Structure 1
Amino acid sequence: MNCTKTGLTSIAAVVALLLAVTCVYAEYTYISESDILTASLVNQDPDPAIAGNMVELRIGIENWGSKPAEGYFIELVLDYPFEPISGQKYILSTDRLEGFQTVEDQKIIKFKVMTDREIPEGSYDIDVLLYKEGQREYAAIKKTLSVDVKTRENAEVIYIGQVKLVPGQQTPMEFTINNVGRAPLKDLIFSWENEDDVVLPVGSADTKYIKYLGVGEKTTVSYDVIADTNADPGLYKLTLSLVYDDPVTGVQKEVTNNAGVYVGGGTDFEIAYSESTGSETSFSIANIGSNPASSVSIMIPEQDGWRVSGSNSAIIGNLNKGDYTVASFSLQQEASAPQGTSPPARSREDYAKMTDEERAALREQMQQTSSAKTIKVDVAYTDTLGDRYVLTKDVTMGLDANITRAASGMRGNFAGGGFGQNGRNGSITTALKQIGYYILGAALAVGLIIGLLKYRRYRIMQMSKKYETPKKNETKSKISLRGDK
């Protein structure tokens, strides 16, 4: 009987064990052949979020099951301190996720939300729901994510008033500081620095003090700055610092930002008449500014009184600061001078009635008309920012300019006798010049003769001194000899 009971017990145990194994296998089979979705916060931008600003949440969706997951939706449940942004969707499809699509292969879904501007600094929870269509209320997978938020700075530098500096040129620069907090600020300290020392303040330190700044108010601090004349053109970083005491906590805070200023820009040129040889007239062009210039070209624009034969432009190329070059043109001066620049023609009787002072003034006026002619010259170049500029310069032509007139003008009339006695006066002037030359030659000859006579007299006196006083014994000898005779 006992054996029978024992056998029945053994059989029951075996059956129970088989049933348990079957159940375990069935459970394992159910898990491995299903879809298992999870959600996590991969990152946020910015991190941490700024109170009152937008933040982008990047949520990763993973499928840990072997079965592909299709037809799922992800919903971001917004609650304080997070607020929706107009135009953004907060229920999105996850699309198809393959089995075991996890970690590096996870699907990233992005949501953008606003944070309340009044919240204190800290971490805040936000819920995510995963569900199939029509199953949100009873089969949704809920995941709670944590978002880091910090309070907005009470003050910020929101504007820099100058972004381009010309080397060696003093330039005003302004910084605008705004109180964006909920309480007034006192005793603010603003400073800036360029670590390369290319840009420096002039006449003051780089630190400014602000005594009081009310809520929503802004103030401007000004500097005179200058960029190093030897600085290479380019963008330079300014590190901005604003130190103040937090009105709530009393802890000193420092806000640092970076701003960029460009050193470079335009330049200036000087153009001067150089020389004229034959039909060619040359001009010297110098870069007198603080920046290099590229693609420089010189042009003679159309203008009254001048005419260019052939090309009216010359390509020079690049000119560094301090460099110069020469450009030549086939230039002719036309006959008619601009109105009001030439002296009026006068009759023979008018010229005869003029005083010596009036005649001298007339000659000076005619000389100025001849020598002070100006011509407009354009110089085009590209600055270091890539902008193209054209400068117009007035160039004074010299007396020795070998420029051909197209026809005889008033000066020809004057030289040909338009003033009546001009031919005779010209002859008299020439004769006087010749007499002057003769007098000068005669004076030089007389001077030379006098110099030779003085030199000859000097030599004779030197020779005379040598034999002027004979020795005493020689004198006595001569006397005794005379006595013997």
Structure 2
Amino acid sequence: MINLRVQTIIVALLLVLAVTVSAGTDDSVSESAFLVISVVSQTPDPASPGEEIELRVKVENRGTKAANDVELGLVPKYPFIMGEAGQSKGMGSVSGRQKGKDAVIVKFIVSTEGTAPSGTAELQLRFKTASQGWTLIDPLNISVGYREVPLTITSVSSEPEKSEPGKPFKIRFGIANKGTAEAVNIRARINITDSMPISGHGSTNEQFTSSIRPGAVANVTFAVITLPDAKSGVYRVPLLISYSDRSGRNYTLGGQLFSVAVGAKSEISAALVDSATLREGRNKVTIELINQGLGDLKFVTTEVAESGDYEVLSPPMTYVGDLDSGDSDTVSYDIFFMRQAHLKLTVNYRDALNDKGSAELDIPTRVYTGDEARKFGLEKSGSKGILVTLAIIATGVLAYKRIRRKAH
């Protein structure tokens, strides 16, 4: 770290007849111009090799006379690099007693060589005035060293939150720089394998960000699509991030997993089994439930609602359990029909993502009267039964007569 105690260079200029130079932190007031030059800040601190530095230098005049045409400059020297425009800064005149909050702040931008060794490097400073040419003064001590550049994932979101099979969606990541050095050439990659139900959609599975400054957050978006035959569920997808710092050091952020929720719309249908046998009065009604969706269902229950057209004689709620995609199951109820009716059936369940769902089904029925059933051959006439009964009676009468004859 830079030594934050004020590092001062005091230059006494006698602008009328002579010039004298002294060093120290003397706060006395001079009858001539008396410049005090000090380092205010170095950003970043320390500076990594190959990194840009913002250096702020304060110029105060503690004398009573003005210093005219003051110019402050940096002398190129390893391990620092600076452009021609950044080597010197003119500030005009510095009035007498111009100090403290009124002092002149001069900003320099320099860079360190990528091969700069860790430690303290000297940055040479010089000045000139209207009456004096360039003069070297004591160098400034600049701290150079590697700093960690930790990137972290601060947020993960998808749009929509739950993807449907065969539909595109977006995944967004927030990547934050928690360090004090700039991260550059950031590559974020989602590792999609054959076992995952997603694929890139209109873009690759790698995104590039040129830089993330300290304290900043970069948002990265991937366009993907869920495969048409994807089963509902939560899938874990790995994210890999590689990046560098300005000195060329490489970093890798691995072991990052995020979840993708795939949820197909539930599709449930119901139909009566052997519906042609329904009569007015009491019936045993069997209903077949069919899961036509791509997702499995669990904790399935059914409930028949009461109606003025029928009365449920058995318990109205039935527990079914699991109902996998493409499978069916049956439930039965004792129902007394007064007339034609539509059964009102409610199916409750949880899907593969454990979200609650329900379906309200309307099941039409055909309830036959006794005459209609006989008319359409659904129920045979009772004449045969009468003949059978008469035959039994006749047989009994004949047997009785034979017994009496034998008795006489």
Q: More strand by proportion, 1 or 2?
A: 2
Structure number, greater radius of gyration: 1
TM (norm. structure 2) is 0.44
Q: More helix by proportion, 1 or 2?
A: 1
